[in-house]
Every structure is written in C-alpha cells, then in structure tokens.
Structure 1
Amino acid sequence: MPIMVRVYIRSVLIGAALACCFVAALLALDVAHLRHLVLNSTVGWLAVVMLVAFNTIVFSGVQFAITVMEQAESPPSSGRRSWIGRPPRKEAVRVPVTTAPRK
C-alpha cells in the first residue's frame, strides 16, 4: 500500500477518534442543551451520527494537512532522496542592473 494512503487512513482514524471525543464532550457538558434535544427526540440518534460523521471529516482533514505540511519541513530520513551531508550551498552572483533616468 502506498505511503500516502497509509497516512490518509491513519489520519481518518485519528480524526474519527477526536470526533467521538468531541461529540461526547458536547453531550456530556450539555452545550446549548444538545443532550436534552438528543435524548428527548425520536431521531436524536441521527443528530449524533451526523455530528460524529461531519466532525470526522473536519478533524481527519486537519490531521492529514498537518502531517503533509510536517513532511515538507523535514528532509527525508532514508531512501534514495536522503541527504548525504549538507545540501549544496548556492553561491551569490552579482548581476549588473541598468536603469533609465527618471523624467
């Protein structure tokens, strides 16, 4: 399985766990009387399922974005693209610039 697919699946699982904890905290703390609405409605379970599903989408997207952005900042740890020593230094080159006089 490709590395990015594994990273995405792991991000979705972490996002789902965070979403479940977030919805549990919302219901436990009775934010905006959500617990009351869920428990006293016949379709309250649907609201909980939708909260978990949509928060899973949001939290997994954030987890995946954080993971991808962290990979861009650090050099690869192994493989063909690993650095040998330091990356080559770039020399500064003077470039002559000509400007037209202002009128």
Structure 2
Amino acid sequence: MPELIKLYIRQVIAGFGLSALFVGALLWLDVAGLWHLVTHSPGGMVAVVMLWVFNGIVFAGVQFGIAVMRMGEGEPPAGGRRDVVRQAVPVAVPARPKRDVLRRKG
C-alpha cells in the first residue's frame, strides 16, 4: 500500500478518535442540555452517531491537512527562477475635477 494512503488512514482514525472525545465531552459537560435531550428523546442515539460521524469527517480532514503541510518542513525551495526583486516606482497621475458630477446634482 502506498505511504500516502497509509498516512491518510492513520489520520482518519485519529480524526474519528478526536471526534469521539469531543462528542463525549459535549455530552459529559451537558452543553446546552444535550445530555438530557439525547437521553429523553427516541432518536437520541441517532443524533449522537450523526454528531460523531460529521465531526469525525471534519476532524479527519483537518488532521490530514496538518499532516500533509508538515511533510514539507525543513526542505529548501527548489527550482523556479531567481529574478531580482525590483523596486516600485511612483507615477504621478494628474486628477481632473469632477465638473460633470457637480452639474448633474444640481
């Protein structure tokens, strides 16, 4: 299996693990009465599973993005042109009075 696929699978597992911790903390701390709502409604477990899955998708994506961005650390940039940075030169532009606007108003 390619290394990038292994990396992706590890990051997805880590993301869903973090999601489980996050949802567990939401329920344990009873944020906005979520524990009471989940335990006293017929579709409460479905809501918890949906919350875990959707947060897992987000956390897995963030985990993978961070892992990919960290892969390039420590390597100097290679290739490309090494042009000299040129200084900006100010250019004077004469401003004309807006007589047409004044005549139309009034």
Superposition TM-score tier, normalisation by shorter sequence: 0.7 to 0.9
Q: Which consecutive residues of structure 2, in runs of 5 or more, have no partner in the other structure? A: 94-106
Which whole-Å CA distance do the structure 2 matches of 1:36 and 1:87 have between them? 54
2:47 maps to what in 1?
Answer: 47
Q: Which has the larger radius of gyration?
A: 2
- Deviation of residue 4 (structure 1)? 0.7
* Percent of pairs with identical residues: 50
Q: Which consecutive residues of structure 1, in runs of 5 or more, have no partner in the other structure? A: 76-85
- Deviation of residue 28 (structure 1)? 0.2
Secondary structure of the residue that 1:73 maps to in structure 2? coil
Which whole-Å CA distance do the structure 1 matches of 2:70 and 2:5 have between them? 16
- Tell whether 2:19 aligns with 1:28: no
Q: TM-score, normalised by structure 1?
A: 0.73
1:79 maps to what in 2?
Answer: none
Any idea what the Cα deviations from partners look like across 1:72-102, whole Å, max 9, x if unmatched?
A: 2233xxxxxxxxxx999xxx787xxxx9xx8
One-letter amino acid matched to 2:28: A
Any idea what the Cα deviations from partners look like across 1:46-89, whole Å, max 9, x if unmatched?
A: 000000000100101000000000012233xxxxxxxxxx999x
2:103 maps to what in 1?
Answer: none
Q: TM-score, normalised by structure 2?
A: 0.71
